[in-house]
Structures are given as structure tokens and as C-alpha cells.
């Protein structure tokens, strides 16, 4: 079939050609004398993507889920208490993974479509005079509902309570796409993966760790082997790994970081915001509701859209896939059948967003949802026209 399959899921994302080309290479010797000349600058530059100078970043073969496991097993012991708000499938799964490791999980159940409840976190931390809570967990961008939470606000709650718990953040669908400031927000462990904002294939868990969290290794009793930070620290310092690294992905990561830095991280965030605004205006023009309950929670990397009562979002997704060769994100778990998601993370631009909206419009109309043809596309077009970089026709050849 001709043309591209439209990939509008929030990960894996669209891989830039430059990244693909950087990985189209022979496999290499990960113990060669010149490997460190490649890896040491990579480790150093990766820290910029997390906005950390003091922290250390680890690259495990794995996915974001492995990053969650690395975060907790290197810092906590079975029986330790963690506080986590669950407001979507990803925050739910992280809480579940904590329970499987024998942690006591204080879950705050939040309506799906809302973000981290700062007032409840603040209250729990104030009430925990004995400091039984060892870590506070936050899903920065809940990919299931298209909700971004206020991580700096959680840091403020910890500080206001004078609470020493670690602050751990799932940034799998935010880091390198939505503003994230590890040092400034006092984040102790930040987890990401390769196949979202980093625009790579799946296969890396990327974990940034503060000095405070690194020190916890001494007391942390959760069993760990593959994900042990200590083995990484010992070998990474000379540019090597404790076991075979995903060298091809590391080459891709180099290209991806170079692209992100060439655009400028702040420009990358602004682009995601502008493109996401266009999508949200398109949804509003359709007369449909977002899953995110308030603008403060709107995600710039994924938009979850509710179908009207009486319709099944799976029908929209299947129609889009089979008739128009485009992939949309499913409604997961509690919102299955009720929402579909447009991913707008990574290597995306205006025209791609218009494609996504146009395809959604056709599929929505096919299943009988009464949206006006072209309405969402037109709303997004006007937003992109108003906000795209200016240039003077008279000044170009």
C-alpha cells in the first residue's frame, strides 16, 4: 500500500529519518577502546534532557516499565510505604508494580481525567509525622487520560511539610516533550523510555537519579540484579556497561538528542503546546469533550477524547485503522470504549496533526457521531496559521 500508515498513538511515536539512519549501522564492539568516546558525552548530554546537573542518568535495555522497577528497587525495601495517586492506567500500573515488590502502597484514587491531588498529598504528608512514607510517586503525564500534573506542586507539598520522602516521577510520556526540571523541582528519580519523546524504537529505560536517591542504595533491600544502579555506576564511569548495552539504540539516542538540542528544548516544548492546542480546538469544534477535566491538566503530548453516549470509541479506532490506515490510541481499562486518543508526541508537525484530525473526522462520521466534516481541521488550521513562524514573502527568493 502506498503512503505512510498514520501513527497517531502516544508511543511508539514517529521516528525521524535522521534517527533511523543513525541506527542503520553495523553492530559494534561494546568493549572497544573507543566506545567511551561515544558513551561518556552521551551520558553527559542526556542529563540536559532531564534538566539535571547533579543527578546521574542510567540507560537500561528495557522499557518504561523497567524504569519504574529500577526506581523503586534501588531505593526502597519491602514494607516501605509509598504514596501514589491513581488517575489512569499508567499510574495504576506503577502502583501495582510497587505492591508486587512488597511495598505498602497508599493509593489515592482520583477520578480519571483529573491530575495529582495536591491538597490530599499535602495533607497526607503533614499527617505523616513519623515519616513512614518513604517515597511520593507522581505520573507527570497520564497517557491514558491526557492529563499533565503539577510536579513542582508536589515538591512544594513535601517542602511545606518538611517531609524527607523521595519524589519519584513517571515522565515516560513527558520528558523531552513537556517541560520537565529535575533539579529545580527536586525530583529524586525520573523515569522515561525510548519510544515516546525520545523518538526511538522501544528498548531503553532511561532513569535519572538524584544524589539523595543514589545514597538510598545502601539501605534499600528490594531484590535487584539486572536493574542494579551500583553495577551501572561502576562501569558507566569509564564509558562501559555491566552487560551488553543496546548499542544501536544508543546511536539512535545520540541522533535524537542532537535533534532535540538543535531545535532547543524550550522550542520543542512550545511546538508540542502549539500543536496540542490546535488538536484541542479541533475537538472543541467537533463539539466533543476531552477526558481531561480542566485546562490546567491538558496534556501537550496526548489528547484523550470522549465519544458521546451511545457510541463506542473502539468503533472509531477500528474504522480509522481499516478504512484510513491510521492508528489512534485505545481507551484503556476504566475508559475503554469511552475515549480514543490522538498522540502528538515527538516528531510531529502541523500537517501531521491536520491529517490526524481529518482521519478522525471521517471515522467519527462513519460511525454516526455528528461532527461536521472539516470542522476540527478548520479550527486547527486557523490556530496554526495564527501561530506558525512569520516570514516575509518579499524577502524570500
**Residues near ligand PLP, by CB under 6 A:** 11, 63-65, 90, 139, 141, 143, 170, 172-173, 193
With CA atoms as reference, report the closest residue to 137 among 111, 113, 172, 162: 172
> Among positive and negative, which fits the CA dihedral 37, 41, 44, 50?
negative
Closest-CB residue for ligand PLP?
64
Provide the minimum distance between the beta carbon of 85 and ligand PLP in the complex, in angstroms, as a whole number. 13
* Distance, CA of 263 to chain centre: 19
Q: Could you identify the residue written with the cell 529505560?
A: 205
61 prior amide bond cis, ω within 30: no
C-beta of 87 vs 90, nearer to ligand PLP: 90
C-beta of 139 vs 371, nearer to ligand PLP: 139
Provide the minimum distance between the beta carbon of 251 and ligand PLP in the complex, in angstroms, as a whole number. 20
Provide the minimum distance between the beta carbon of 170 and ligand PLP in the complex, in angstroms, as a whole number. 5
Provide the minimum distance between the beta carbon of 347 and ligand PLP in the complex, in angstroms, as a whole number. 16
What is the DSSP secondary-structure string of 13-80? -PPPHHHHHHH-S----TTSTTHHHHHHHHHHHHHHHHT-SSSEEEEEES-HHHHHHHHHHTT--TT-
C-beta of 332 vs 358, nearer to ligand PLP: 332
Provide the minimum distance between the beta carbon of 203 and ligand PLP in the complex, in angstroms, as a whole number. 9
Q: Give the three cell numbers for residue 347.
A: 516528531
Provide the minimum distance between the beta carbon of 195 and ligand PLP in the complex, in angstroms, as a whole number. 6
Provide the minimum distance between the beta carbon of 74 and ligand PLP in the complex, in angstroms, as a whole number. 17
C-beta of 74 vs 319, nearer to ligand PLP: 74
Query: Please, are residues 139 and 117 in contact by the beta-carbon 8 Å criterion?
Result: no
Main-chain phi, psi angles of 193, to 5 degrees: -140, 170
Query: Please, are residues 190 and 175 in contact by the beta-carbon 8 Å criterion?
Result: yes
With CA atoms as reference, report the closest residue to 242 among 226, 260, 219, 218: 226
Provide the minimum distance between the beta carbon of 173 and ligand PLP in the complex, in angstroms, as a whole number. 4
Q: Could you identify the residue written with the cell 513512614?
A: 132
C-beta of 170 vs 228, nearer to ligand PLP: 170
Provide the minimum distance between the beta carbon of 162 and ligand PLP in the complex, in angstroms, as a whole number. 29
User: Exposed, middle or buried by CB within 10 Å (0-12, 13-18, 19+), for 347?
Assistant: middle
- The β-bridge relationship of strands 204-209 and 302-306 is unpaired
Number of helices and strands in the chain (H, E): 13, 14
C-beta of 141 vs 248, nearer to ligand PLP: 141
Q: Report the alpha-carbon distance of residue 200 to residue 181 in Å, rounded.
A: 22
With CA atoms as reference, report the closest residue to 277 among 362, 342, 180: 342
C-beta of 142 vs 228, nearer to ligand PLP: 142
Provide the minimum distance between the beta carbon of 143 and ligand PLP in the complex, in angstroms, as a whole number. 3
C-beta of 246 vs 379, nearer to ligand PLP: 246
C-beta of 65 vs 312, nearer to ligand PLP: 65
C-beta of 193 vs 239, nearer to ligand PLP: 193
> Among positive and negative, which fits the CA dihedral 153, 158, 164, 170?
negative
Amino acid at each position: 500500500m502506498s503512503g505512510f500508515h498514520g501513527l497517531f498513538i502516544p508511543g511508539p511515536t514517529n521516528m525521524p529519518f535522521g534517527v533511523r539512519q543513525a541506527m542503520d549501522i553495523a553492530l559494534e564492539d561494546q568493549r572497544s577502546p573507543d566506545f567511551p568516546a561515544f558513551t561518556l558525552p552521551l551520558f553527559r548530554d542526556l542529563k540536559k534532557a532531564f534538566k539535571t546537573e547533579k543527578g546521574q542518568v542510567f540507560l537500561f535495555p528495557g522499557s518504561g516499565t523497567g524504569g519504574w522497577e529500577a526506581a523503586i528497587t534501588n531505593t526502597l525495601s519491602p514494607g516501605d510505604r509509598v504514596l501514589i495517586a491513581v488517575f489512569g492506567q499508567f499510574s495504576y500500573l506503577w502502583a501495582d508494580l510497587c505492591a508486587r515488590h512488597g511495598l505498602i502502597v497508599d493509593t489515592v484514587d482520583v477520578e480519571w481525567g483529573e491530575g495529582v491531588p495536591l491538597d490530599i498529598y499535602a495533607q497526607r504528608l503533614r499527617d505523616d509525622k513519623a515519616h513512614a512514607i518513604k517515597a511520593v510517586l507522581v505520573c507527570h503525564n497520564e497517557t491514558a487520560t491526557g492529563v499533565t500534573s503539577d510536579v513542582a506542586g508536589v515538591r512544594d507539598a513535601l517542602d511545606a511539610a518538611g517531609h524527607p520522602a523521595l519524589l519519584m516521577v513517571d515522565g515516560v510520556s513527558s520528558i523531552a516533550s513537556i517541560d520537565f526540571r529535575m533539579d529545580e523541582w527536586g525530583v529524586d528519580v525520573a523515569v522515561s523510555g525510548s519510544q515516546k519523546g525520545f523518538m526511538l524504537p522501544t528498548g531503553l529505560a532511561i532513569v535519572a537519579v538524584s544524589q539523595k536517591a543514589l545514597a538510598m542504595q545502601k539501605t534499600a533491600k528490594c531484590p535487584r540484579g539486572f536493574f542494579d544502579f551500583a553495577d551501572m555506576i561502576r562501569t558507566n564511569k569509564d564509558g562501559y556497561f555491566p552487560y551488553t548495552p543496546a548499542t544501536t539504540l544508543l546511536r539512535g539516542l545520540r541522533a535524537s538528542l542532537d535533534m532535540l538540542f538543535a531545535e532547543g528544548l524550550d522550542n520543542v516544548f512550545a511546538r508540542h503546546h502549539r500543536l496540542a492546542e490546535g488538536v484541542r480546538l479541533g475537538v472543541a469544534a467537533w463539539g466533543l469533550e476531552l477526558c481531561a477535566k480542566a485546562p490546567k491538566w491538558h496534556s501537550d503530548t496526548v489528547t484523550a477524547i470522549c465519544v458521546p453516549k451511545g457510541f463506542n470509541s473502539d468503533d472509531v479506532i477500528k474504522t480509522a485503522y481499516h478504512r484510513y490506515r491510521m492508528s489512534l490510541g485505545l481507551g484503556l481499562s476504566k475508559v475503554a470504549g469511552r475515549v480514543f486518543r490522538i498522540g502528538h508526541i515527538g516528531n510531529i508537525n502541523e500537517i501531521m496533526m491536520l491529517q490526524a484530525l481529518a482521519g478522525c473526522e471521517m471515522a467519527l462520521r462513519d460511525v454516526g457521531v455528528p461532527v461536521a466534516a472539516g470542522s476540527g481541521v478548520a479550527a486547527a488550521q486557523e490556530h496554526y496559521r495564527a501561530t506558525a513562524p512569520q516570514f516575509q514573502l518579499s524577502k524570500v527568493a
